[in-house]
Amino acid sequence: MTKDSFHEKITLALSFLILNNYLFLSLNFFQLIIKINFIIFLIVIFAFYFKNFSENPFLKIFFLFIIFISLGTATSEWDPRSIWLFHAKRIFYDQSIFSVSDNYGELWHNAYPSLAPALASSLATLVGYWNEVFPKLSFLLMFLPPLILTYVFLKNTQYLIFLSIVFFTIGKHLFTGWTDGLVAVYFCLSTFLMYLLIVSENNFFKKKIIFYLIAFCFFITLTLIKNEGIALLLILFVVTFLIKLYQGDLKNNIIKLIYLSFSFIPIILWKLFCYSKGIGNEHINSNILLNILPRLYEIENYKLISYFLLLNEKFIYSLVFFLVAFWIKWNMELFRFISFVALSYIFILFFIFLSTPYDLHWQLDSTAVRVVKSLSFLFAFFGLYNLRNWRIEN
């Protein structure tokens, strides 16, 4: 087994076990089975650490450092404390992701996907009790699969730079129980896998079945982390479909796209369940046009959204790095794909903020800095990836 294939298999195993935990809780399996699944999850992590500790030491040391911070940091902010960890607490006591069926506490966003809270509840189940600190460690553990996979493509100094980008763009969202950092990382690696398997003209990775399995797991995970993940994955499929349609190469990739599109099934089933129980229906805004039309013609609204989204300092630094990286080493295929994906998401964000029923400034002030992390990480990652062989070539 090569070092790269080891990392690929560890990535697939961890991703599968995370989704397996969600499946077991949705089917109301016995606690013993849930505990065994989590123990296997931890064993795989230990195998990654100790099979060859000198391999990929940057991630192993970095991750231990973040674990200690997570265990020593209390969660006090609204979203992680009152939404994600509260959902995890309810799942822990009821041993089912369907504990929200009573729609208790509408402000707690019961219709949100429950993948991360489900893993947190299973960690508490394994330990045997609940508290407000250690369960959020599972949120951190969910970062491991995409971070491990990245080592297949970026090595040594490049990988150290990658981890610096993770820490710079994701920041405290690595260890405080927020899910926005998870969305950013899984979105970026899902974009990367979509590029390798469908968009890129390089056929090397297209012949490896394990990458399709990893992509399938990552796509499902992205949609089950947070609602934004659904829109982000849909963007990936639409942009990829249109690019291949324009190139006249759609028939050679349509089977792959159909297979990967099955990754939407779990989140569709979850949303159908929520809709059937009336969960979250109170947040469905049927008056989008009434909200958006008065704002469409006011230039100040666009300035305000641009200020919060596009003038975010981390977004600017990442965008500049991305542009400089592609100026140094031009790659039309990759630049076009990432640009279309990013512009599509920016367009959707403008639409969402313009149609919000809440005060626009308040909505932006409370959410913009979090949703823009996905764009910042996307630009920074692909800027680095584009330059991975630059010194060798020059």
Q: Residue 72 has what pLDDT?
A: 87
pLDDT cut 70: percent of the chain above it? 96
Residues 373 and 60: their CA atoms lie apart, in Å, by 24
Instruction: Name the pLDDT band for 392 (thresholds 50, 70, 90).
Output: very low
The token duo for 309 is: 């989204």
| Burial bucket for residue 90 (CB in 10 Å: 0-12, 13-18, 19+) | buried
Please state, as a whole number, how many other Cβ atoms lie within 10 Å of the Cβ of residue 8.
Answer: 21
Q: Is the model more confident about 76 or about 365?
A: 365
Sign of CA dihedral 190, 232, 28, 75: positive
Mean pLDDT of 127-134: 89
pLDDT cut 90: percent of the chain above it? 72
Mean pLDDT of 130-152: 94
Mean pLDDT of 48-54: 85
Mean pLDDT of 35-45: 97
Instruction: Name the pLDDT band for 290 (thresholds 50, 70, 90).
Output: confident
Q: What is the DSSP string of 68-123?
A: HHHHT----SHIIIIIIHHHHHHHHHHTSGGGGGG---GGG-TTS--HHHHHHHHH
- pLDDT(393) > 60: no
Mean pLDDT of 285-312: 85
Residues 113 and 225: their CA atoms lie apart, in Å, by 6
* Domain segments of the chain as ranges: 3-284, 287-394
Residues 88 and 223: their CA atoms lie apart, in Å, by 18
pLDDT (tens digit, 9 = 90+) per residue, 88-98? 999 999 989 99
Q: Residue 286 has what pLDDT?
A: 53
